[in-house]
Amino acid sequence: MRLKRSEDRARVFQMNAKIFQDPALSGQENMDIDALLLERAVAGEAALRFYQWSEPTISLGHFQVTQSMDVPERFKHLPCVKRLSGGGAILHDRELTYSCCLPKQHSICQEPAQLYNQIHEVLIEVLAAYDVRCSMRGDAAFKDQSFLCFSRGDERDIVVGTHKIVGSSQRRRQGAVLQHGSILLQASEFAPEFPGIYELSGVRIDPDELREQLEGSIANRLDLQFL
């Protein structure tokens, strides 16, 4: 299944960016690369990256505590890393993860919260081509301080019905923005209470194929030209 890329929109300004298609790596390696890309964004370089995880891993939000006693017992045997971004913990397993780093020279960095809308709108459009009916949560958002991010509800979450399938978070530094997010393709055996796209729609999506569709669509939306 292929999604035909739309024609480029007329542009006043187009920013060069690097694209990274990494193999499955450990949690620490993945977070180290995202941190490096944010440093490069501060220096003026834009990047878009897609990756997966070599084993099920918990990533803690930047402001979450790190003591092992604060991690629920059922997750204590899993690798645990710290994210640059905030929010609740994420169990990274059967997902495709993206990260987008933009320097302050990109126009959207003047209002970085809009980056959530732009990327999530692209995700909704691409998933619709797979017959996955989803939308942003909107006014149904709710406050929850549960350990796991997918138990929390933000207005920009992408949901199928009431079930969250995409959650994203940001870190901002000297005007540059790192946004990364998890696209839940299938439920993890370690957190079966969170159904993925497969359980909710019956659609099994190949992560490499999805990555290919998202690259051009996100670049087009954000006026990025890959080097």
Query: What do you get for the CA distance between the two ends of the chain, in Å?
Result: 26
In angstroms, what is the C-alpha Rg of the chain? 17
Tell me how far apart the alpha carbons of residues 50 and 214 are, in angstroms, rounded to a whole number: 9
Instruction: State the residue for tokens 């954000």.
Output: 222
**Is 100 in the active site?**
no
Catalytic residue among 100, 101, 134, 149: 149
CA distances from 160 to 85, 155, 156, 203, 215 (A): 24, 13, 13, 12, 23
The residues carrying an active-site annotation are 149
